[in-house]
Amino acid sequence: MASPAELFARARRYPMGARLFSRIVTARAPYFASISPLFRELRPNHCEIAVRNRRGVHNHLGTVNAMAMCSMCELAAGTMLETSLPRNLRWIPRGMTTRYLKKADTDLVATARLEQPVSPDFSGDLLVPVRVRNTAGEVVMEADIAMYLSPRKPA
């Protein structure tokens, strides 16, 4: 079975391919459709997701809602892990620590990145850092997502 990164690479060869890939991902995990994400990059140990600054993700102040940014972070981290982990491992989020640094009043890009590959015999908590930047490249939010990794059960 192809990894999400391989599917994304195939989809990007076509006009609107990244948008189609993003729709397929949100069809599989419907909650994330609420932020209308657009995958910009997806490869092992790296994922970038963009979200437009639009009324549907605003809070009462007219800026991007904190929970919309948390959704971006969880989607980026989870999809990146799905692409990066050895096939014998599975993951589940355990918690998220967030820091809101600036007002989020532009389009945003969340980037999840691991510095090194995960070993096939790893088990336990893995901290996945995600940064959300505005159109000026400034970090508006930082998230550290604790992901629990464990061996997949045999089929």
Q: What is the DSSP string of the chain?
A: ---HHHHHHHHTTSTTHHHHHHHHHHHHSGGGGGG--EEEEEETTEEEEEE---GGGB-TTSSB-HHHHHHHHHHHHHHHHHHHS-TTEEEEEEEEEEEE-S---S-EEEEEE-SSPPPTT--EEEEEEEEEE-TTS-EEEEEEEEEEEEEPPP-
pLDDT-derived band at 153 (thresholds 50, 70, 90) equals confident
CATH of the domain at 8: 3.10.129.10
- Based on the structure, what is the number of domains in the chain? 1
- Write the pLDDT tens digit of every residue in 37-55: 999 999 999 999 999 999 9
Instruction: Encode pLDDT of 45-85 as tens digits.
Output: 999 999 999 999 999 999 999 999 999 999 999 999 999 99
Residue numbers of the domain that contains 93: 4-151
